[in-house]
Amino acid sequence: MVLARLWRLAGPGRCRALLLAGLLLLLLREVGRTSHTEPPRGETSGRLPPNVVFVKTHKTGSSTLQNILFRLGERHHLTVAFPRYTYQFAYPQPFAAAFVEPLPPGAARYNLLLSHLRLAAGELRRVMPPDSLYLTILRDPIHTFPSVFAYYRSTVPAFRALANHPQPLAAFLQAPEQYYDPADAGNGLARNPMAFDLGLEAGGEEGGSRWDWELERLNRTFQLVLIAEHFDESLLLARELLGLRLEELAYVRLNARRGGGDEALAPGLAWRIRAWNWLDVRLYRYFQAVLWRRVELYGYTRMKGELEALRALLRETRETCLAGEAAGPEETADELRPWQPDTAAILGYNLRPGLPPAQHASCYRLVLPELQYHARLYYQQYGREMCLGAPTLNKPGPFESSS
């Protein structure tokens, strides 16, 4: 019965062939499992982490938290709700339950949902257990917008006309309306990108008190909204919510853009970014205040002490795992190179050579870029390669080259 359902859902042609191969693999894996070391789901520690929906916003540092949650999922053999095609839930369409890959055989429910989507909370509740925790992350629009602009300059229609301009961001912000058509669905990230990801109709002009109501609604949806500029504080709040050990918070900053950290904005640009992205500014300020209230309740002294411990752990992790600082695509190994847009260089890491096997395994996961980690977990969960609806990896996958 499950098989028949899977078969119908696997869709036409190549995916069905893969499904067959996958089932075979899964079977072999199950047979193998009984005879050796892999602990059954949940046996790695006494208590399972709670179910989590992480609404992964664009260019906000969200890949770093996603990696922490991927590792958590892998350690506990949690069931991940994956998109049926590619790495995103049919973005920029609003999320729908139908975008989710069916449960793998034997699983009763999903535990984690971590891929890019445009928020539609009602549809998420149809997929994820009612006790799921909802998390997301916001970043100062002053940084988010230039980052979105650099990353999507050749894909978002409103930015495309400026792809070859010597000062494209300044030119866009001089006269954004000239380039921006709010009716074009592809322009979701071109104005108030974070509000767009959170499902708000963010393309229009500033207006009115209905946004207060929308922000309050989001505050009820999310148990925690992390703030990128206070990532470590946010992470410690997340730790309490998820019941994690401090060591489970180890991270390196993933998917950063070369030059992104130290780029000074031309005079006047900050003001224009805020004016154009007025709803993101309101969203950010609202949740920044919510975060500081949370830190206050958590206790400043307790927070300060834990921050010190966390930062020591992060230093130690970098020293143990990394061969050096974050490196450009020309310097990283193929399997550890993040996906590269053609308008920005995205940094990755090289591992310290000669790590003992156990350490290598944990360091490898720490630096594994989003698409690679996603594909890896998908394979572990379904015993087959994921179906790519469109070519998304920098290397052609098995499907692109065969069709």
Q: What is the x/- site pattern for ligand NAG, positions 86-115, by CB under 6 A?
A: ------------------------------
Question: Which one among 44, 45, 219, 394 touches ligand NAG, defined by CB under 6 A?
Answer: 219
User: Which residue, 201 or 296, is less far from ligand NAG as judged by CB?
Assistant: 296
User: Which residue, 206 or 216, is less far from ligand NAG as judged by CB?
Assistant: 216
- The strand pair at 112-113 and 133-138 is best described as unpaired
User: Which residue, 216 or 308, is less far from ligand NAG as judged by CB?
Assistant: 216
Question: What is the closest distance, in whole angstroms, from the C-beta atom of residue 290 to ligand NAG in the complex?
Answer: 5
**DSSP states along 35-72:** HSSPPPTTTTSSSPPPPEEEE--TTSSHHHHHHHHHHH
List C-alpha distances in Å: 37 to 40, 43, 44, 380, 381. 9, 12, 12, 16, 17
User: Which residue, 121 or 161, is less far from ligand NAG as judged by CB?
Assistant: 121
User: Which residue, 172 or 287, is less far from ligand NAG as judged by CB?
Assistant: 287
Question: What is the closest distance, in whole angstroms, from the C-beta atom of residue 150 to ligand NAG in the complex?
Answer: 32
Judge whether 115 and 87 are in contact, CB under 8 Å. Answer: yes
Which amino acid is residue 51, in one-letter code?
Answer: N
Question: What is the closest distance, in whole angstroms, from the C-beta atom of residue 216 to ligand NAG in the complex?
Answer: 6
User: Which residue, 19 or 194, is less far from ligand NAG as judged by CB?
Assistant: 194
Judge whether 50 and 231 are in contact, CB under 8 Å. Answer: no
Question: What is the closest distance, in whole angstroms, from the C-beta atom of residue 362 to ligand NAG in the complex?
Answer: 33
Helix or strand holding residue 144 (H, E): helix 141-151
Question: What is the closest distance, in whole angstroms, from the C-beta atom of residue 143 to ligand NAG in the complex?
Answer: 23
User: Which residue, 112 or 218, is less far from ligand NAG as judged by CB?
Assistant: 218
Question: What is the closest distance, in whole angstroms, from the C-beta atom of residue 219 to ligand NAG in the complex?
Answer: 4
Tell me the HSE value of 294 on the side-chain side, using a 13 A CA sphere: 21
Token reading at 255? 């998917």
Strand order in the sheet with 133-138: 112-113, 52-55, 133-138, 224-227
Judge whether 338 and 346 are in contact, CB under 8 Å. Answer: yes
Question: Which one among 30, 38, 184, 216 touches ligand NAG, defined by CB under 6 A?
Answer: 216
Question: Which one among 25, 290, 295, 393 touches ligand NAG, defined by CB under 6 A?
Answer: 290
Cis peptide before 92 (omega within 30 of 0): yes
Q: What is the x/- site pattern for ligand NAG, positions 115-144, by CB under 6 A?
A: ------------------------------
User: Which residue, 154 or 288, is less far from ligand NAG as judged by CB?
Assistant: 288
Q: Percent helix, strand and coil across the chain, each rounded to 5?
A: 50, 5, 40
Total site size for ligand NAG, rule CB under 6 A: 3
Gap between the Cα atoms of 139 and 118, Å rounded: 17
The residue with its CB nearest to ligand NAG is 219
Gap between the Cα atoms of 42 and 104, Å rounded: 17
Site for ligand NAG in 146-185 (CB under 6 A): none
Question: What is the closest distance, in whole angstroms, from the C-beta atom of residue 131 to ligand NAG in the complex?
Answer: 16
User: Which residue, 296 or 316, is less far from ligand NAG as judged by CB?
Assistant: 296
Gap between the Cα atoms of 54 and 222, Å rounded: 9
Binding-site ranges for ligand NAG (CB under 6 A) = 216, 219, 290
